[in-house]
Amino acid sequence: MEIYKNLKPDYQSQMDGTLISFEGIDFCGKSIQIEQLIAKLTAKNISYLLVREPGGTTIAEKIRETLLTKAQENVNPITEYLLFSAARAQLVEQKIIPALQDGNVVICDRYYDSSTAYQGHGRGIDLEIIRQINYFATKGITPHLTFLIDIDLEEMERRKMLIRRELDRMESQQRPFFEKVRLGFLQIAQQESERFCIIDGSKSIETIAIEIWQRFLKLMNKKNILT
């Protein structure tokens, strides 16, 4: 039996807000593009909430520290996934749902697609189990639009060499892992092409920002929020 069958399928339709997520392998450039989008939203006086995964609440930030801090013991893939899901469930309930109910634009720096790519495709956890728990943890709250900023592994390695800080536990994974994750993201995007917008992360920051803004405006106009 699917564990999410008792959830209302129209839960999200009761909310006026817009959920935007940013995805991609580590060092793809998500953070700077989120900053670019927020600057444009601010200039247009559009109310928004920015959240990150894992994190965004007191409980979720503690889970984030556990997941990303390098530790001597190996973290079991199932443990890893369930911790990500626990942090996500808290974030959705405490921050995302109220913001959507208030009509805000909610920007997620990673959401459940990251778990599908990292723990499903990357770690090898059964994708059907991932799908059900993702749905259960989020109450079926799905992004209206997901930007997948895609870079190849050579570009990822080049950018990693420029980082002047210690890498966290996830960033420190080996290249074969990230190869699986990247292919996982591309597969997800192909399967849900209406929701995903794949961005070539090798383009200039300005070019990418313009592409993201134009796609965002298209969505908002479709929802009759901007005219």
CATH at 95? 3.40.50.300
Degrees, nearest 5: CA angle 92-117-48: 35
pLDDT at 80: 96
Residue 98 has pLDDT above 90, yes or no: yes
Q: What's the rounded Cα separation, in Å, for the pair 146 and 111?
A: 9
User: What is the pLDDT averaged over residues 94-114?
Assistant: 97
Residue 2 lies in a domain: no
pLDDT at 226: 59
| Cα Rg of the chain (Å, integer) | 17
Residue 204 lies in a domain: yes
pLDDT at 74: 84
Q: What is the pLDDT of residues 120-149, one digit of tens each?
A: 999 999 999 999 999 999 999 999 999 999
- Residue 92 sits in which domain range? 12-222
Residue 5 lies in a domain: no
Q: pTM for the whole thing?
A: 0.93
Residue 196 has pLDDT above 70, yes or no: yes
Residue 7 lies in a domain: no
Complete edge-to-edge strand list for the sheet that includes strand 18-23: 48-52, 105-109, 18-23, 145-150, 196-200
Q: What is the pLDDT of residues 169-194, one digit of tens each?
A: 999 999 999 999 999 999 999 999 99
Residue 4 lies in a domain: no
Degrees, nearest 5: CA angle 131-133-137: 120
Residue 50 lies in a domain: yes
What is the tally of structural domains in the chain?
Answer: 1
The answer to whether residues 22 and 33 touch, using CB atoms and an 8 Å cutoff, is: yes
86 contact partners, CB below 8 Å, separation of at least 6: 59, 63, 137
The percent of residues in the chain predicted with pLDDT above 90, rounded, is 85
pLDDT at 1: 41
pLDDT at 225: 64
User: What is the pLDDT averaged over residues 205-220?
Assistant: 97
Residue 172 lies in a domain: yes
DSSP state of 49: E
Q: What is the pLDDT of residues 27-59, one digit of tens each?
A: 999 999 999 999 999 999 999 999 999 999 999
Residue 88 lies in a domain: yes
Taking the alpha carbons of 104, 107, 108, 112 in that order, is the dihedral positive or negative?
positive
Average pLDDT, the chain: 93
